[in-house]
Amino acid sequence: FLLFLKLENKTKGKLQKQICQVVLDHFEKQYTTELGDIWISVRDVLTYPMCWQYAILLNKFSQSAELENTLHVKGYHPAFQGPLPYLPASLKCYIRRTPGRFPAQKHQAGKLKEYYLLNAASLLPVLALEVKDGEDVLDLCAAPGGKSVAILQCAYPGNFHCNEYDDLRSRWLKQTIESFIPDPLINLIMVSKLDGRQIGDLKPELYDKVLVDAPCSNDRSWLFSSDIQQATLRLIQRKELSFLQFQLLRSAIKALRPGGSLVYSTCTLSKAENSDVINLILNSCSNVMPVDISEMAKAVSQEFTFLSGTQQHELLVLPEKGRAWGPMYVAKLKKM
């Protein structure tokens, strides 16, 4: 028992050590102002990885009845049920209330993985996008590839363009696609390393649906930056992120066909990178209008906690104990 206590204290010590104080102080200031008392409970979840949860997205191209039985036995249940405006039967994601991580599968050349571990909230942008068979789809900032894989669980796009500008992340994206998507279908996917800000000019009005899962200040991982200098640099560069996000969105709008729709998402709580960016786009682009996604939010409110008071075209998932999903901001726009 004493040994167990020692080990537990050791892990607690490790967790305490891992938190980057520079980032936490910065977040304290900003999020206390933006979220008020809500920040305290959100902070408790974000700074304590032992209570984080992981969802299991099944791969329909490598189905296993045995895996689903195992998940049921271990207390997992479907993440998405009820009257969602869009929920393809082929999208299967399992969650459970208790923390803990299902073992990840290693990448093996020529062998498809059976599931993908992810934050369940990161499937909300995919559900908001509502991709249908035959539509031309662009995933503008696609790495590491979880949302691309999820889109392909939902429908068979006519053309599917996955773009990732960063070299290392682009390799990661390719590996993810190879791990989950079978051969004939892989030929429908174009993976590029273009500057997302230029895609709109290079491929004007080419897509029915565009996902902009933008580079953002990733609150979860930034809190555990082990390199203080890198963390400080990140916080300085953070101010420039909203302009990059705005440029990516403007490019995405150009790439959309009239009548097409766009979903913007981030994994930060930051108002400057979320609703401020969307408001700026709505005020400066006369050819887009907001799309109400409140029905989707209502349908999943049993499993996800949302910030109240947001507009109908946006939602913000707040992590809380037992529902430690998010942060995840989602907004939907349509091109006129």
Instruction: Tell me the binding residues.
Output: 141-147, 164, 195, 213
Q: Which residues does 151 contact at the CB level (< 8 Å), separation at least 6? A: 126, 129, 131, 137, 139, 157, 160, 211
Radius of gyration of the chain (CA): 20
Query: Number of helices and strands (H, E) in the chain?
Result: 13, 12
- Binding-site residues for S-adenosyl-L-methionine sit at 141-147, 164, 195, 213
> Do 294 and 306 contact (CB within 8 A), yes or no?
no
Output the six-digit token pair for 15. Answer: 């967790």
Output the six-digit token pair for 264. Answer: 């913007």
> Do 96 and 76 contact (CB within 8 A), yes or no?
yes
* Distance between CA atoms of residues 180 and 61, nearest Å: 7
In terms of Cβ atoms closer than 10 Å to its own Cβ (0-12, 13-18, 19+), residue 278 is buried
* Distance between CA atoms of residues 297 and 311, nearest Å: 12
Per the annotation, the verdict on 51 as an active-site residue is no
Q: Which of 93, 154, 216, 267 is catalytic?
A: 267
Residues identified as active-site: 267
